[in-house]
Amino acid sequence: MLYSTCTFSKLEDEETIRHLLRERPEMHLIPIPSYEGFCPGIIENEEDTAMQIEKCVRIFPHKMQGEGHFLALLEKDTDAPENYHAKRKPSTEKLPEELLEFSMILPSFTATISNSGTKAGHFYPRQQGLSGIA
């Protein structure tokens, strides 16, 4: 599974991968082939080192053409049991304050998207008065 963002936010990048790896121990990061302009994920502590967060890739606009991106390539362990999720305990981890704030505005954000239109995973706002544009 490839997780990708077009942000420099550690919350949306490394923090999301940390959370996924904590909650889904059957998943692990796999290396992305190096390319000129790629930088490793940001390591902040020993847990990051153990999770191999450096296998993530940050692409900064001053090093490579584009607006900047984050990539993490994940794989499920082949020996993970099929019913693993049914046996695991629910997380006791508290959601970050920023995520809680976002979840409060999510219903209005979702309504805006459904009234604006999407195509190929991108958000295209529709201009007022135009209908039938896909």
The more confident residue out of 5 and 63 is: 5
- The per-residue pLDDT for 129 is 45
The secondary structure of residue 134, as a DSSP letter, is -
- How large is the C-alpha radius of gyration of the chain? 18
Rounded Cα distance between 112 and 81, Å, is: 40
Tokens 């999770």 locate to: 51
The more confident residue out of 2 and 126 is: 2
- The per-residue pLDDT for 89 is 61
- The per-residue pLDDT for 8 is 87
- The per-residue pLDDT for 22 is 92
pTM to 2 decimals?
0.61
Contact 48, 14 (CB under 8 A): yes
Contact 3, 74 (CB under 8 A): yes
- The per-residue pLDDT for 117 is 47
Contact 48, 108 (CB under 8 A): no
